[in-house]
Amino acid sequence: QPLCGFSNAVVQILRLHGVEDYRAHDVLQDPDLRQGIKNYSNWPTIPQVYLNGEFVGGCDILLQMHQNGDLVEELKKLGIRSALLDAEKDQEKK
């Protein structure tokens, strides 16, 4: 369960693309873990998104990737077909 609006936005974006296989960790309960992940990625905000273990960015970056189509391409590299592609095909048929 997302505990903040930014985390919720990340989850909603993933769901829009049909991504079901992801993990989330609550870093709000442990200040050392929260700071540690920021230090690890050299990124100042939470949530942080990793695709196949590679740091992508925060909510703002994922939203931008979603809006400009880059997320579809990144998911494709991981062998994940975005559900939005199927939705677009269904829309074209109508």
At the fourth CATH level, the homologous superfamily of domain 5-93 is Glutaredoxin (3.40.30.10)
Domain ranges of the chain: 5-93
Instruction: Indicate the pLDDT class of residue 12, thresholds 50, 70 and 90.
Output: very high
Say if residue 19's pLDDT is above 60. yes
pLDDT of residue 93: 60
Query: Directed axis angle between helix 59-68 and helix 5-16, to 10°?
Result: 30
Q: Is 59 annotated as a binding residue?
A: no
d(CA 62, CA 4) in angstroms, rounded, equals 16
